[in-house]
Amino acid sequence: MLKPTKKELNRDNLLNQGVTLLMNQGYHGTGLQEILDAVNVPKGSFYNYFGSKEDFGAEVIQHYIDPFITQLTAYLEQSDTDALGAIKRYFDELISELEKSGFKGGCLLGNLMGEIGDTSDVCQRSLQTAVTRYRNLLQSGLAKAQQQGTVRSDKSAEEMADLLVNAWQGALLRMKIEKSAAPVKRCCQDLLGDFFRP
């Protein structure tokens, strides 16, 4: 039970590779063969692990967002007395990772929302829950910052969290085509450093 079975391992490898390839090449731009080859799983075995490509995509979405939730949670718990600073540092780390990867890929959620967000019911639902989970966490961080007096209170934390998520997604798209970190940096500065201040 503690040692992962081969099946669980293959599933996890497929999901990890799915995150990478779907993020960089899109849903329709990535074939199952490519994913399977990358983790040395035979093509015939795919349907032993997942019901369909669409179901796989929906699982990949959740598999993608989990680490981000964990990471942001850690930042918030670590800097308990300065929630706004925690959020800022969290985004700074994201930007640093984006720079390392040469501004490619961006965010799987944003990319898939645009590509199949309104054509695949299964993935649409998965995207909804993933985005909402992330937004809620950001919202709770902003609410704490409001209590600490570092963020304005005349706007709801939910409203600001939504704006932050949306502007961040748009900035990631701009980053991709401009091959520059300037859009995401300015996005954080404008909102966290100005608009959200009391």
Partner DNA sequence: CAATTAAAGACAACCGGTCGTATTATTTAA
Partner DNA sequence: TTAAATAATACGACCGGTTGTCTTTAATTG
**Cα–Cα distance for residue pair 123/63, rounded to 1 Å:** 13
| Span 84-123, contacts to its own copies by CB under 8 A | 103-106, 110-119
CB of 42 to DNA, least distance (A): 3
**Nearer residue to its own copies within complex by CB, 13 or 181:** 181
Binding DNA by CB under 7 A: which of 33, 96, 101, 180? 33
CB of 185 to its own copies, least distance (A): 11
- Nearest CA to 166 among 145, 198, 195, 125? 195
Alpha-carbon distances, residue 103 vs 99, 106, 184 (angstroms): 6, 7, 10
Interacting partner of 155 out of DNA, its own copies, none (Cβ under 5 to 8 A depending on kind):
its own copies
Q: Please choose, out of 6-14, 61-69, 124-132, 146-154, the segment that lies near DNA by the rule CB under 7 A.
A: 6-14
Reported as type and span, the H/E element at residue 87 is helix 83-100
Interacting partner of 119 out of its own copies, DNA, none (Cβ under 5 to 8 A depending on kind):
its own copies
3-state secondary structure of 69: helix
Cα three-residue angle 18-135-112, rounded to 5 degrees: 30
